Structure 1
Amino acid sequence: MSYHWNWGILLSPVSTGEPTTYLGWLMSGFWVTIVVSLSAWVIALIVGSFFGVLRTLPNRTLAAIGTVYVAIFRNIPLIVQFFTWYLVIPELLPVSLGNWFKQLPPTAQFFSSSILCLGLFTAARVCEQVRSGINALPKGQRAAGLALGLTQWQTYRYVLLPVAYRIIVPPITSEFLNIFKNSAVASTIGLLELSAQARQLVDYTAQAYESFIAVTVAYMVINLVVMQLMRMLEHRTRLPGYIGGK
């Protein structure tokens, strides 16, 4: 193999004159990936839970709204959604709001578009997990909550959702991992996250193997940490008689 390995390139100053190293570029992308993914996950969990509840309500109109949301966001390719949020949505907003967005620094535009797009895309998948978790519960639980005088909202808040969330921890873990991996698509609109920084490193150094091995290790670290945290959460919240319970 004629390839010349040079791991020391990661500690070399970047050729652009910035006061950092190529490893610094990768670390910068690493933290961008973390911030974007966690911010998007907050949106995904809140919005996904809301529409997941809608899809289990007896009101057909509200259930249909949830179904339409899932159909739209799950059936449009993620890369198309990124370009839509970055290029199209600002043109559809009121003029003042659209101009405000366009006048933001480019980095702020990349961040906000990426977080919203990734969050709402993942919310459609979380919605299905929440819906499945609620539907997996015995129907008597809803009836018991209403029989006790609880409102529909209180029945979800105090009876159904606390148990449903415990059931869906394993599939939610998969969606949590996916949001970190899907964040790489944000590089298509200009966000310098982890994979984009890796490509930039290759462009300046031609050391492709070192760059992408380092990025692979970074993603593995993220995945291992997330899996361990979610495993601990599943262990602490499991209920006897349900999936994973003792």
Structure 2
Amino acid sequence: MDVFRGTPLFVQIFIIHFAVIPGIFGASQGPVVSGVVALGLNSAAYVAEIFRAGIQSVARGQMEAARSLGLTHWQAMRYVILPQALRRVLPPLTNEFIALLKDSSLLAAISAPELTFAARTILGATLRPWEAFLPVAFLYFLLTTIFTQVSYALERRFAHGRSDE
């Protein structure tokens, strides 16, 4: 997973679109498939790291206490560790999903039909950049604002009446 966190997403999109997917299937499967695979692998690497850090942030004594009460390792993870970790990973997880949304604009480089590609198509037909890109910028802003507000609501819900340890 360090390969995906340590290389630019733009480069990953091109490698997956022009080398990996054709190498596996013998031909390109289209820009949408390549884009979904590239964004999925890149985001999965970051999400895995976020969850790893969240689980490790829970005090070791929590697991020891759960085990001393007779819970198995998996029961302790499910009922004690993960609920605490989930509250802690929500803000960085929200940031990752917002970054994923904004990074989807990079798929225009391989002609995937997404917002930026649509704006470039409109620009090519009208030669009016403001009219082509301002609505796209507004849509990205609107979507990130919605994600952020949902995240704040979830954070408040998880934090209501609870302490971390």
Q: Does 1:162 align with 2:93?
A: no
1:95-244 alignment runs, 5 A limit: 98-99=25-26, 102=27, 109-238=30-159, 240-242=162-164
Q: Compute the displacement of 1:77 (Å).
A: 1.0
Change (3 A) 1:157 1:92: farther
What is the deviation of 1:173? Answer: 1.3
Unaligned runs of 5+ in 1: 1-68
Percent sequence identity is 34
Structure 1 241/82 Cα, relative in aligned 2: closer, same or farther at 3 Å?
same
CA distance in 2, matches of 1:143, 1:92: 48
Cα deviation for residue 165 of structure 1 reads: 0.9
1:54 is aligned to: none
Give me the whole-angstrom Cα distance separating, in 2, the residues matched to 1:161 and 1:86. 36
User: SS of 1:73's equivalent?
Assistant: helix
Q: Which has the higher helix share?
A: 2
User: Within 2, Cα distance between the matches of 1:209 and 1:149?
Assistant: 64
Q: Which has the larger radius of gyration?
A: 1
Structure 1 residue 118 displacement after superposition: 0.6
Q: Aligned equivalents of 1:217 and 1:80: distance in 2? A: 27
Whole-Å Cα distance in 2 between the matches of residues 205 and 233 of structure 1? Answer: 42
Q: Counterpart amino acid of 2:36?
A: I
1:20-73 CA deviation, whole Å, 9 max, x = no partner?
A: xxxxxxxxxxxxxxxxxxxxxxxxxxxxxxxxxxxxxxxxxxxxxxxxx2x111
Per the TM alignment, residue 131 of structure 1 is displaced from its structure 2 partner at its CA by 1.9
- Which of 76, 91, 95 is the aligned partner of 2:7? 76
1:111 shift after superposition: 2.0
Rounded Cα–Cα distance in structure 1 between residues aligned with 2:122 and 2:103: 20
Distance of 1:149 and 1:209 partners within structure 2? 64
Partner of 1:46: none
Distance in 1 separating the partners of 2:74 and 2:19: 36
Shift of residue 112, structure 1, vs aligned partner: 2.0
Higher relative contact order (CA 8 A, sep 6+): 1
Question: CA–CA distance in 2 between the matches of 1:215 and 1:90?
Answer: 29
Match in the other structure for 1:36? none
Matched residue type, 2:17: Y
Taking a change above 3 Å as real, the CA distance of residues 126 and 103 of structure 1, as seen in their structure-2 partners, is closer
Letter of the structure 1 residue corresponding to residue 46 of structure 2: R
